[in-house]
A and B are shown apart, each in its own frame.
Chain A
């Protein structure tokens, strides 16, 4: 069974940093492209970042580019999101999501999410 479990969320002050993790199991992690998607309270889904299976290709949403860094450790079957210079508008539930097809590009599996709150 495919499982994605996020961790690392919490309360952080504006300007602070936080590192999210996503532990994968039930599939060959190194074969799949991965993403982070977030959802602010009461708002819609917003794609945050993408990383290829090898880690060699990375994309970011304009809203986080230069502040967030996505990475992965295939040996540990884990995905990460380093978040720096956090702002109040970064407050959201952060989901890791597995990309199902390089050509069709849809998210077939999602974790349950981890809440990040940026507040003083």
Chain B
């Protein structure tokens, strides 16, 4: 089955840039989506189709996808960005949806 690997944690100072990677075999050939989840809340979509932002999501959130790695970038990080982040793809070979292992972003 298809596996998506994320770093368990990323720490960043306010105002700096956080980069969260999502590794998968030839993930660049798939559409990658990203979700933010704060404690006790449901996940919220922050990036879809590699780079697109849903309405209401700040421009500080951006995405990229190439080769074996997709990346979610959070620019000018704020305290409110502290959350868990998950990448997600559709694996057509197994007809399964796959989530990454998740990354906890801590704002120092």
A residues neighboring B (CB under 8 Å) = 35, 37, 44-47, 50, 59, 61-62, 95, 100-101, 104-108, 110-113
Contacts and interface: CB of A to CB of B under 8 A. Distances in A.
Nearest to A106: B33
Nearest to B48: A106
Nearest to B31: A104
A104 B48 contact: yes
A101 B31 CA distance: 11
Nearest to A100: B48
A45 B96 contact: no
B43 A35 contact: no
Contacts, number: 60
B48 A47 contact: no
A104 B63 CA distance: 15
Interface in B59-108: 84, 86, 88, 90, 95-102
A95 B41 CA distance: 11
Most A CB contacts (10 A, CB to CB) among B97, B98, B100 go to: B97
A59 B96 contact: yes
B45 A107 contact: yes
Nearest to B50: A104
Most A CB contacts (10 A, CB to CB) among B44, B88, B90 go to: B90
Given A47-B98, A105-B90, A106-B49, A62 B35 contact: no
Contact of B42 (A35, A100, A101, A110): A110
A103 B95 CA distance: 13
B1 A62 contact: yes
Given A45-B86, A45-B88, 10 more contacts: A44-B101, A59-B96, A95-B43, A104-B48, A107-B43, A107-B88, A108-B54, A110-B43, A110-B44, A111-B42
Contacts of B41: 112
B42 A112 contact: yes
13 contacts: A44-B102, A45-B37, A45-B86, A59-B96, A104-B49, A105-B31, A106-B33, A107-B33, A107-B88, A108-B48, A108-B54, A112-B41, A113-B42
B31 A45 contact: no
Contact of A47 (B37, B54, B99, B101): B99
